[in-house]
Structure 1
Amino acid sequence: MAATPHPAHRFLTMKAAGVTLAALVIILFAGLRFVHLEADFPPGVSGSGDLYTDEGAYSSAAVRWVTTGQWRLEGDFNPAVNLPVYPLIQAVTFKALGLSLGHARLTSVILYLLLMAAVWALARRWAGPVTALIALLVMAVNFNAFAFSRLALLEVPMTLFVVLGLLAAARGGATGTVLAAAAFLLALLTKTAAGFALPVILLVLLWRPEPLTRRLAQAGLFCALTGLGLLAYYFVLVRGHLPDYQTYFMTNVLLRTQGGLWDLGRALVRIIWYGRQFDPVLYPLALLGAAGVLVVGGKLRRHPLFWISVVWIAAYLATLATQNYAPARFYLVLAAPVGLLLGLMIEHLARSGRRGAAGLLAGVVILALAVSGGRAVDYLRHPQYSWASMMRELHGLVRQDGRENPVILGHFANSLSLGTGLLSLNDHYTWKSSLPARLERYRPDYYVTLGGIEAPIRSVLERYGTVEPVRTWDVFHNYYTGEPVALYRLTRKSPLEASRP
């Protein structure tokens, strides 16, 4: 007669099976990120125009470098002056693999997998494998994270450098402090929103089990090195291209900044509420759980990883509140701390003997991720390529025209360069008053827009030359304005025609 397995043995067997299954799911969804990389972004996730603009805008320096040998275009939108790190990474990719939309997105996927590995290392430094696995499950399977981590956006590399900074700070000593400052500086030069990480990294430096004077010295060294790095960046890059720096800062930072405490307070409430875009179940669950721990107390409230996650979320939401713009992609940065909080709570409940509560919380997390995972798989089973097809067809039309070294102008012309290699000018992210001068200097051959041309821009274009409609495409189901992408051919007036009233 076979012996009945001991309950403890059954529990360990089930735990091992659960760990194995979780690891397989993480590996599966990590691999699925490489599938159909040029497919359209899934509908219903983003309501902002970033699907048209941002991939190309922040890769424009890399595109120009591999196509023309120049990383900036005088008088145009040159965000690489303010944010040079990601274009450098993309330039390496394009030089090694060639210029394409798929290769631009491949860079982001690889960086996101490195981010997952860094979060695993961060979790295992202070917590058990359950916390680490739950965090990685959330990062791998959550549909918002799955979708946005496949786009060539700044949030992924910025978050990677932040986590590397946290790992370096946890190492301690002079070496760890120097590495933490270097990682934080890279994060800031990837996206300025990385400033949220300053209190998080300082928290890790000050949490170390060392004499207070040494901890304060390391925190001071970190701040000094970061300041010196920013100063060096100013003298090496910014000072020689100050108009580019000022244009980006004014149009993308200063003009979006909220003014007044009342506006900031309202913005913070709105930003917290919009966080449900990341996940309508896991995000509020993590926030409510963290609030409960802060109120009730207990061992978890003294856990360093709990405070790292809480300060991370609070500082990031506060940073977003200073702006009047918070699209869904911004919340990708919260995938790691939300996953860490949920993992910590499940592991804490299980270790404190409340396995029923731990099982219930784990069940809710698994159910939410199952829904997310199902959406991701369904999305990959039915890929659409309206964006990539439009770029190929547009490039074909341009080649048929036979114009020498054609230039394309438009709000999202930089993004079209990723798939076509065409030299592009941006008509929105720079001052509108500079458009006539740039038209005369670069003489664009085409104009691309959503639907009709805005009246002020049309007026400038018609003074420059004739504006002829060529073709329209329905892209991304026309989700943003309800209008198709429209291509116009520009033919510059002769000097005699231009002189006529």
Structure 2
Amino acid sequence: MPLKRFSYPLWIAFLVVMAALHAWHLRADFPNFSPWEDWSKYTDEGWYGNAAIRAHLFGNWYIPGDFNPAAALPVWPFLLWIIFFATGVTIQAARGLAVAIFFVNLFLSYKLFRDRGPRWAGLLAVTFLVTSPFLYCFSRLALLEPLLLCLTLSAMNLSVRLSRFRHPEAIGALIGLLFTAMMLTKTTALFLLPALAWTIAQPFWREKERMFRLLAAAGGSAAISFCIWMYLVVSNGLFADYKYLFFINSYKRPHDFYGHVMSAWWAFHGALWADIILIPLSGALVVIAITHTIAHRREPRQIRSERWTAGFWSDPLCTGSVLAAFGYIGFMAYQNHPQPRYFVVVAFFCFIIVARVIAQLSYAHRSLNPLSARNLGLAALTVALATAAFNTLWTIRYAIHPQYTWIAAAQNLTNYIDEHPNGNRILLSISGDEITLITHLPSLCDDFSTIDLPAKIARYQPGWYATWDDLDPDTLEDLHVHDSLEQAGSFPAFDDPDRNMLYLLKMHPLPNGGARDPDKQNLKVQLPDDKFTIDVD
């Protein structure tokens, strides 16, 4: 048909253009006045890539006592380290790598569909992904989530095709190595393990011996490779840095039933950050499939096999995606600390669920009650396409109106330091690593340290301190042990009311190397030798 002949090329061209928008204006900020206030936009790009940044700029990836996450999460900084040889240390290069991985994720998502249904179903899933303004914003930051997704989707592509390989146990071992890479990219990969194990096991459910061999190959490979990494960490004296990552990510968790319920609700409700239509639609379609299956559970197997839900539950892509989305939401419920960026993983798998169920409903002519299933599929498709159209306009608006307030703030802060020397040209700040990535200014993190902050200040003697909007009393106490503070400048950066102004202060060491004692003097307030007007809050 002529219409079909031209529709696919036009559709693919649209997807290519929308994908290309993600690579446009890579230096631009995370959009101001978006619905997503996330800490990552002023910290995480620098934190989790700081090993590569330091290695290229200063000759050593490791700063004793500072935040060194590469001991636990080495995969992303290793890739950045390689990229920086070709590009130099720039935020565009780091973000370009993240966007390139996003492109690979689009391809891997399509490949998951391609052998399990019509081409249009895979393109529909890619359409949801590439038009999402939420994914547009977060896939353009140099974060860990795109790489975690890339490794997960690669492992799932292998696991759903295990039966086609001549040596499936060897592929199972490769999947185990990919899982270790997932764990060394972001430790929350542990909550994706049930989904990955299920996609391996489901096709071989009736061949138990073969299924256990494949699971053993994958599990053994993952265990051995992870133990090798841990041996390297311990033998090189990095275990304290490894443990510290878990210490700083330990949040207060509920201890009663009501608290657990509210934590779970907060995690599920947080998924609406990703999409207020497609996320609930994915959940509704899964609930409908479960309800339909329970309602017809007493029917003979032959009749049940002809219903549309049979294809849903027998497809490891469907069930694996459900387990992946619920597993990651479960992590946030357990952690009791959801952040918008965490839902990048959830969004991918929920969008896959929507496209896969719509495709399954389109096969209703082969099942019982085809008209009812087709009507449900048509309704879901209509809602999904309307959402994608709205999301397309939203994403284009972000793409054609880039903002540079944070980049300008970091550059102006660095220029001020260069024009007004004050001791060591080292910045102490929670956003220090991010600023180093942008301007190459050497920095330390004031919030995360494997040694006490006063000890780190005494060791490295930074000349500058930067804070967002106010001074934390506990941090001020640590600063006051060795230094007095003088306000030097302020730089508008973000729309976030708690992170809209970055203040720069000079750090003046006490005379004759003196030190104040917090037990004998209140150091959490402004002292007579300080010169600043910032609120202490």
Residue 74 (structure 1) aligns with: 64
Residues 103 and 258 of structure 1: CA distance in aligned 2, closer, same or farther (over 3 Å): farther
Correspondence 1:31-430 to 2 at 5 A: 31-42=20-31, 43-172=33-162, 173-209=168-204, 211-239=207-235, 240-252=237-249, 254-256=250-252, 259=255, 262-297=258-293, 298-299=309-310, 300-353=312-365, 354=371, 356-402=375-421, 406-430=425-449
Q: Distance in 1 between matches of 2:380 and 2:4?
A: 16
* 1:262 Cα offset (Å): 4.8
Q: Deviations over 1:37-69 (max 9, x none)?
A: 121212223223222111111111111111112
Greater fraction helix: 1
- Alpha carbons of structure 1 residues 404 and 457: separation in structure 2 relative to 1, 3 Å: closer
- Distance in 2 separating the partners of 1:202 and 1:290: 20
1:490 is aligned, of 485, 507, 526, to 507
Larger displacement relative to structure 2 (202-211 or 354-363): 354-363
Can you list the C-alpha shifts for 1:401-427, whole angstroms capped at 9, x where unaligned? 346761110111111111111221111
2:238 is matched by which residue type in structure 1? H
1: CA distance, partners of 2:377 / 2:149: 29
Q: 1:73 to 1:345 in 2, by over 3 A?
A: same
Q: Which has the higher contact order (CA 8 A, sep 6+)?
A: 1
- Is the Cα–Cα contact under 8 Å of residues 409 and 427 in structure 1 kept in the other structure? yes
Distance 1:364 1:21 in 2: 21
Change (3 A) 1:87 1:257: farther
The residue aligned with 2:453 is: 435
**2:23 is aligned with what amino acid?**
F
CA contact (8 A) 1:170 1:176 kept: no
Give the Å deviation of 1:460: 2.7
Q: 1:421 to 1:256 in 2, by over 3 A?
A: farther
Distance in 2 between the 1:281 and 1:269 partners? 18
Partner amino acid for 1:69? G
Letter in 1 for 2:226: L
Instruction: Compare 399-408 and 450-459 and name the one that shifted more.
Output: 399-408
Which has the larger displacement, 362-371 or 295-304? 295-304
Q: Give per-residue Cα distances to partners, 1:3-54, cap 9 Å, x unaligned.
A: xxxxxx5xxx444444333322211111001111121212223223222111
Identity of aligned residues (%): 24
C-alpha contact (below 8 Å) 2:411/2:439 kept by paired residues: yes
- Report the Cα distance in structure 2 between the residues aligned to 1:446 and 1:440, rounded to whole angstroms: 13
CA distance in 1, matches of 2:169, 2:137: 39
Query: Contact 2:53/2:81 (CA < 8 Å) preserved in 1?
Result: yes
C-alpha distance in structure 1 between counterparts of 2:420 and 2:234, whole Å: 39
Q: Shift in Å at residue 333 of structure 1?
A: 0.5
Residues 49 and 480 in structure 1, CA contact (< 8 A), matched pair in contact too? no
Distance 1:417 1:138 in 2: 35
Give the SS at the match of 2:43.
helix
Secondary structure, counterpart of 2:173 in structure 1: helix
CA distance in 2, matches of 1:313, 1:48: 20
- AA partner of residue 236 (structure 1): L
- Report what 1:5 is aligned to: none
Give the CA deviation at 1:160.
0.7
What is the match of residue 4 of structure 1?
none
Cα distance in 1, alignment partners of residues 320 and 499 from structure 2 = 42
1:24 matched to which residue of 2? 13
Equivalent residue letter for 1:466: S
Shift of the 296–462 alpha-carbon distance from structure 1 to 2, 3 Å rule, reads same
- Residue 6 of structure 1 is matched in structure 2 by none
Residues of 2 paired with 1:376 and 1:31: CA distance?
A: 12
Partner secondary structure for residue 481 of structure 2: helix
Letter matched to residue 340 of structure 2: A
Partner Cα separation in structure 1 for residue 382 and residue 134 of structure 2: 20
The gaps in structure 1 that reach 5 residues or longer are 1-8
- Following superposition, the deviation at residue 472 of structure 1 comes to 0.8
Amino acid corresponding to residue 482 of structure 2 in structure 1 = Y
Given the superposition, is the C-alpha separation of residues 287 and 226 from structure 1 closer, same or farther in structure 2, using an over 3 Å criterion?
same
Structure 1 partner of 2:532: none
Where 2:41 maps in the other structure, the secondary structure is helix
Q: Distance in 2 between matches of 1:36 and 1:329?
A: 20
Instruction: Kindly provide the amino acid, as one letter, of the partner of residue 282 in structure 1.
Output: L
The one-letter code matched in structure 1 to 2:243 is Q
Aligned equivalents of 2:499, 2:444: Cα separation in 1: 24
CA distance in 2, matches of 1:259, 1:118: 40
Q: Which residue of 2 aligns with 1:3?
A: none
Whether the 8 Å contact between 2:423 and 2:462 is mirrored in structure 1 is: no
Measure how far apart 1:190 and its partner are.
0.5
| SS of 2:506 mapped into structure 1 | strand
Cα deviation digits, residues 416-464 of structure 1 (max 9, x gap)? 1111112211111236x70111001111111111022212222332332
What's 1:462 paired with?
A: 480
Contact 2:490 2:502 survives alignment (8 Å): yes
Q: TM-score, normalised by structure 1?
A: 0.92
CA distance in 1, matches of 2:7, 2:491: 47
Q: Secondary structure at the residue paired with 1:422?
A: coil
CA RMSD in angstroms comes to 2.1
Kept in 1, the 8 Å contact 2:487–2:506? The answer is yes
Give the superposition deviation at 1:211: 2.7
Letter in 1 for 2:87: L
**In structure 1, what is the Cα distance between the partners aligned to 2:174 and 2:362?**
36
Name the SS for the 2:80 alignment partner: helix
Residues 237-262 of structure 1: per-residue CA shift (max 9 Å, x gap):
2452122122221111x345555655
Q: Mind listing any 5+ residue stretches in structure 2 that lack a counterpart?
A: 163-167, 294-308, 366-370, 522-537
TM-score w.r.t. length of structure 2 = 0.86
**3-state SS of 1:179 partner:** helix
Aligned partners of 2:513 and 2:77: how far apart in 1?
Answer: 42
- Which secondary structure state, in structure 2, belongs to the residue aligned with residue 326 of structure 1? coil
1 CA distance for matches of 2:441 and 2:171? 44
Letter of the 1:113 partner, please give it: F
Check conservation: 1:407, 1:444, Cα contact below 8 A.
yes
